[in-house]
Amino acid sequence: MKPFHILLTLLLSTQITNAAGKNREAVPRLPADLKIVDNIVFKQVGEKKLELMLFQPLAKKHDKSPLVVYIHGGGWGGGDRYKVLRPDVIGVIRSLNQEGFTCASIEYRLVDGKPTLASDAVADCKDALRFLMKHAPEHGIDTERIGTFGSSAGGHLTLVTALGKDSDYPCDPTIEGPAARVRCVAAFYPLVSFVDAECMKGGNFERPQRMIPLLGGLLVEKRELALKLSPIELLRADSPDILVAHGDADKVLSVHNATALRDAAQAKGVPIECIISKGAGHGFSGDAISPTIAEIDRQTTAFFVKHLVPPAAR
């Protein structure tokens, strides 16, 4: 483990505030050097409350701060907003906060097919963006400078959130706020298609039954929904700029996902940056990967700054 990440694991608690500004008990595993507001409920489905946490800018560099929203991984059926503390993710959040960005880490309903599908998870992500648009003034957020960021299943969801039309997903009509215009999107080791068999080779997505909890049935039965959940199929000439990063030794989601997205985006005229880390497995695991996690984080931060900060303000 790199010294930076050893240091990071030592910064494991902080006194945080809830959305009302009141102190609450220290929460383990939250970096003490970041300004965090946690437990903000943005949506409720039945008894299930969906929450997000905000990472506020460490220095005021903009009248209104750009916003980057992180979407966690976990196979669509696991994980929570605290996945943002992964070593390959929190470095990006920290760097963006130092650049004057606001960042958010959001939750979504975990997919089980009974009845929650991947399309419901997308709707929750889009609803979180609309909630943040509505509450932008109180958090000093610039609603014209929005990016999304995700890893693994969250990499897939961040792409669909940025590329898909809100009307194609079961968003909550009671959540007020304008739809967010996403200017750029970064995805780490994502799945980019539910219909391209090559993207699913090398993992349990080769099993047809793996689609049932995600789509509510087999691919042959749910192809229309699968197309709406396939980032490659959602690309248009006016799609936001994309960064995709993947390891060439990934045994969970093949690196073909990154190269297929790159090729499809280039064919549509969509600007895309593609980072392939040699020797890296899923989550950029590996002892001697190149580029390293720190290098990938630097490129990702630079990508968001390039697209969300006017040249005169950099």
- Percentage with pLDDT > 70 across the chain: 91
Higher pLDDT, 218 or 4: 218
How is 245-303 classified by DSSP, letter by letter? EEETT-SSS-THHHHHHHHHHHHHT--EEEEEEBT--GGG--SS-BS-HHHHHHHHHHH
How is 118-147 classified by DSSP, letter by letter? HHHHHHHHHHHHHHHHHTHHHHTEEEEEEE
CATH of the domain at 17: 3.40.50.1820
Higher pLDDT, 10 or 92: 92
Measured distance CA(291)–CA(31) in Å, rounded: 25
pTM, full prediction: 0.90
Q: pLDDT tens digits for 155-214?
A: 999 999 999 999 999 999 998 878 899 999 999 999 999 999 999 887 777 888 999 999
Which of these, 173, 196, 202, lies nearest to 260 by C-alpha position? Answer: 196
In 2-26, which positions are buried (b, 16+ CB within 10 angstroms) versus exposed (e)? eeebeebeeeeebebeebeeeeeee
Please tell me the predicted confidence (pLDDT) of residue 62: 93
User: Looking at the 3D structure of the chain, how many domains does it have?
Assistant: 1
Structure tokens at 58: 């460490």
Average of per-residue pLDDT across 37-56:
96
Which of these, 165, 155, 182, 166, lies nearest to 261 by C-alpha position? Answer: 155
Please give the mean pLDDT across all residues of the chain.
90
Cα of first residue to Cα of last residue in the chain, in angstroms, is 32
CB 285 within 8 A of CB 311: no
Banded pLDDT at 57 (limits 50, 70, 90): very high
Average of per-residue pLDDT across 3-10:
38
Measured distance CA(104)–CA(26) in Å, rounded: 19
Average of per-residue pLDDT across 131-140:
96
CB 231 within 8 A of CB 190: yes
Kindly give the residue spans of alpha helices, DSSP state H, lying in the chain. Answer: 3-10, 87-98, 118-134, 136-139, 153-163, 197-200, 212-215, 223-228, 231-234, 256-268, 293-308
Residue 10 has pLDDT above 60, yes or no: no
Residue 23 has pLDDT above 60, yes or no: no
Measured distance CA(52)–CA(90) in Å, rounded: 15
Which of these, 274, 314, 265, lies nearest to 296 by C-alpha position? Answer: 274
Residue with tokens 């606001």: 102
Range of the domain at 68: 3-313
Residue 53: strand, helix, or coil = strand
The backbone torsions φ and ψ at residue 274, rounded to the nearest 5 degrees and listed phi first, read -125, 120
Q: pLDDT tens digits for 27-44?
A: 546 888 999 999 999 999
Structure tokens at 236: 């248009």
Measured distance CA(27)–CA(274) in Å, rounded: 36
What is the CB neighbour count within 10 angstroms for residue 37? 19
